[in-house]
Chain A
C-alpha cells in the first residue's frame, strides 16, 4: 500500500464513493470517460453486458439523465432522496493492461436509507466486489468501466435510485 500508485488508486476509489455519499452527482459523472459504462449485472458469471439484461448498464447519456433526475422532486422513486454511506475496503490494482489502463478491484458495502415511514424497511444494504477500469488522463485517473458484482446480483430488488 506504500507505493505511490496503490495510494493514488486507493484515494481515487474512496473519493468516488465519497462523491456518491455527498450527492455530488455531477462531479461523480465527470469521473467517467465519454465512452464509459457503468454496469451492475444480474449474475457474477455474466461476461458481456449484451448477453442479457442488467440492473444497471449505463453509458454516459443515461448516467447523466439518471443523476439529473435524482435532483428532481418529482422523481417519486427517489422521493425522499436516498442517503448512502459507502464502506470501501481492500482496494487493489489487479492488473495493468497493455495500453496502461488499470484494473482495480475493491470490496464495498453501501448502506442506503430513504425515509418513507417504513421503519427498518427504509434502510437497505448492498455489497459486493467492485471492479474499475481506470485510465490516466491529463486531469487525473478517470473511469472507463465500473462493474459492481453484488453478492445478491440475481435479485430481486425493489426500486433502486442511488447508484452503487
Chain B
C-alpha cells in the first residue's frame, strides 16, 4: 500500500534546553514555517490602535505573522479584521497599507466587493451564478480581534485562543502605564510610521532589546562620539535627547546588575527603567498640572513614578510607556524581519510631550539611528556566523543562578541576566510542542 510522502518535522522542543538553544531556530526556513503556524498562528498579536480609524470605511493593512489582514471600521463603529484576499480568485484587495473604503473593498480583478466584516456586498454579473453559487457563502474569512484600552490585537486561532487578558497577564500593566500617562485618559496614534528591516531572524530583536550587556560593546562607538560632542558643549547648553540616548548606553554594567528584569509566563519581559522616577515630559510642568486635574495628586505621583524600560510582548510587539512608542515586529522569512514604529499622543498633554516621544521613536526605530544601525549589523552578523562551523548550541545561561524572586505572575532577575531569553524559549517550546 502506497502512503502519501510525509514531510519530516523534527521535534522542535528538542532544540531548546534550559541553558542553551540550537542554532537552527535562527537559520532553518522549515522551523520558521512551523513558528508561523504554531506561535504567530496562536498568540495575540498587536495590530492597530482604534484612533487609526477615524471614520467608517477607514482601513489599515497589517500582518499576523506572514498573513496580511485588513482592519476596517464599519458604519456602526465596530472594527473588523479580514484576510487581504478576494474570495473569488484570490487577488489581494488592498494595495496600500492604509486608506478609506466607505463603499466596501472592491477587488481590482472582477469587481467583487466586500463589507468591512468580509461579507459579500455584490459579485459582478450575478446572473451567471444563478443556481450555481450563493454570494452569501463567499464571505472573506475574518480574524478574531480583541481590544485592550483601545489597542487592537488579532489572533489567528479564533475560538481556540485564550482571552487577550489571560495572554497578557502581568504585562497589561505596561499598557496601563502608557494610557494612564494621558491627562485625559485618551491616547491617539500619530499619523506617520517609521519602518526598518534587517536580514536576520525575528527572534534577534526579542533577544536584544532587553539585553543590557551589549550596549557597552555594540554601541561603544556612539557612546564615544556622544561624549565627544557633549564634552565640547558650552556650559549653557545641555545634550539633546538623542545624544542622551546615545550616552545612556555607556552606563556601567553594575548599574544594570542592580536594577530588575521582570519575566512573565508567555515569553514577555521588561526591565526597570534607567530614567529615574518622577520623569515629567515637559519643561513648564503643564503636563503634571493637567495630570493632577484628571487623576488627582496622589494617583499622578503613582503613575509618574513607574520607571519601566521597554516591555517585550512576545512574540510581536515592544512597548515603551514613558515615550509612548509601540513597535510591531513583522517576521517575513527566517532571514528577513521588518520593524514598524508608532508614536502615540497623550491627548491633552503639552506638544513638548509628543515631541519627546517622536524623538525617542526616531532614535529607537530609525535604520539611520546610530544605535539601531549597530544592532541591525549585529543581527545580520549573527545569522552569517551561525552558518559557520560545527558549534550547534548557543548558550543562554547568563545569570541562570541569579533569580531574585518568583511569584505566580512574574519572576525577578538582575537586568544583566539572559532570563528573558530563557523565558522566551520556554514560551517558544510550549507553543511549538502543540501540533
The CA-CA distance from A154 to B96 in the complex, in Å, is: 12
In the complex, residue of chain B having the shortest beta-carbon distance to the beta carbon of A66:
B370
Chain B contacts for A68, CB-based, 8 A? 224-225, 228-229
| B225 in contact with A51 (CB, 8 Å) | no
Given A61-B233, A61-B240, A62-B243, do A50 and B378 touch, yes or no (CB 8 Å)?
no
A53 touches B367 (CB 8 A): no
Q: Interface SS of chain B: helix, strand, loop or mixed?
A: helix
The reply to whether B192 and A46 contact each other, CB–CB distance below 8 Å, is yes
Shortest beta-carbon distance from B351 to chain A in Å? 7
| Chain A residues positioned under 8 Å from B374 (CB to CB) | 75-77
Interface residue count for B (Cβ, 8 Å)?
51
Contact B218 A76 (CB under 8 A): yes
A51–B373 Cα distance when bound, in Å, is 23
Do B365 and A53 touch (CB < 8 A)? yes
Within the complex, the shortest CB–CB distance from A164 to chain B, in Å, comes to 9
Q: Contact: B366 with A62, CB < 8 Å?
A: no
| Minimum CB distance partner of A49 in chain B | B358
A155 to B339, CA, bound (A): 11
Determine which of A64, A77, A78, A158 lies in contact with B197 in the assembled complex, contact meaning CB atoms within 8 Å. Answer: A158
Q: How far apart are the CA atoms of A66 and B224 in the complex, in Å?
A: 11
B368 contacts the other chain (CB 8 A): yes
Query: How far, in whole Å, are A50 and B362 apart by their CA atoms in the complex?
Result: 11
User: What 0/1 readout, one digit per residue, does chain B (220-254) give for beta carbons within 8 Å of chain A?
Assistant: 11101110111001000001101100100000000
Tally A-B pairs: CB < 8 A. 147
Is residue B91 contacting chain A, with contact meaning CB distance below 8 A? no
Total interface residues in chain A, CB < 8 Å: 40
B228 cross-chain contacts in A, Cβ below 8 A: 64-65, 68
Please name the residue on chain A nearest to B245 by beta carbon.
Answer: A62
| Alpha-carbon separation in the docked complex, A57 to B366 (Å) | 10
Question: Is B53 interfacial (CB-CB < 8 Å)?
Answer: no
The answer to whether B191 and A51 touch across the interface, beta carbons within 8 angstroms, is yes
Per-residue 0/1 for B358-396: is the Cβ within 8 Å of any A Cβ (1 yes, 0 no)? 110110011110101111111001000000000000000
Interface residues in B331-370 by Cβ distance below 8 A to A read 338-341, 343, 351, 354-355, 358-359, 361-362, 365-368, 370
By the criterion CB–CB under 8 Å, are A53 and B338 in contact?
no
Cα-based distance from A125 to B376 in the complex (angstroms)? 19
Q: How far is the CA of A121 from the CA of B336 in the complex (A)?
A: 13
* A52 nearest CB across to chain B (Å): 3
Q: A42-B192, A159-B198 are in contact. Are A76 and B239 (CB under 8 A)?
A: no
- A52: chain B residues within 8 A (beta carbon): 190-194, 343, 358
Are the CB atoms of A155 and B377 closer together than 8 Å? Answer: no
Contact A77 B338 (CB under 8 A): no
Asked if B367 contacts A157 (CB within 8 A), the reply is yes
B195 adjacent to chain A (CB < 8 Å): yes
Q: How far is the CA of A54 from the CA of B16 in the complex (A)?
A: 39
Decide if B192 touches A55 in the complex (CB within 8 Å).
no
Bound-state CA distance A56–B220 (Å) is 21
Chain B proximity mask over A5-44: 1 for CB below 8 Å, otherwise 0: 0000000000000000000000000000000000011110
- A65 and B197 contacting across the interface, CB-CB below 8 Å: no
With A74-B221, A76-B221, A77-B376 as given contacts, are A57 and B362 in contact (CB-CB < 8 Å)?
A: yes
The reply on A161 being an interface residue by CB < 8 A is: yes
Question: A73 CA to B225 CA in the complex, in Å?
Answer: 12
Determine whether A89 belongs to the interface, using a CB cutoff of 8 Å to chain B: no
Q: Which residue of B lies closest to A117 (CB)?
A: B384
How far is the CB of B124 from the nearest CB of chain A, in Å? 32
Q: Which chain A residues (53-87) contact chain B, with CB distance < 8 Å? A: 53-59, 61-62, 64-66, 68-69, 72-79
A-B contact pairs, 28 of them (CB 8 A): A41-B192, A46-B192, A51-B192, A52-B194, A52-B343, A53-B362, A55-B362, A56-B368, A61-B233, A65-B226, A68-B228, A69-B222, A75-B370, A75-B374, A76-B374, A76-B378, A77-B374, A77-B377, A121-B199, A155-B194, A155-B196, A156-B367, A158-B196, A158-B367, A158-B376, A159-B372, A160-B373, A161-B373
Query: Taking beta carbons and an 8 Å cutoff, which residues of B are in contact with A?
Result: 190-199, 218, 220-222, 224-226, 228-230, 233, 239-240, 242-243, 246, 338-341, 343, 351, 354-355, 358-359, 361-362, 365-368, 370, 372-378, 381
**Beyond A64-B229, A75-B370, 15 extra complex contacts between A and B, CB < 8 Å:** A41-B192, A50-B358, A52-B192, A53-B361, A54-B366, A55-B362, A56-B366, A61-B243, A65-B246, A69-B222, A75-B222, A155-B197, A156-B196, A159-B377, A161-B368
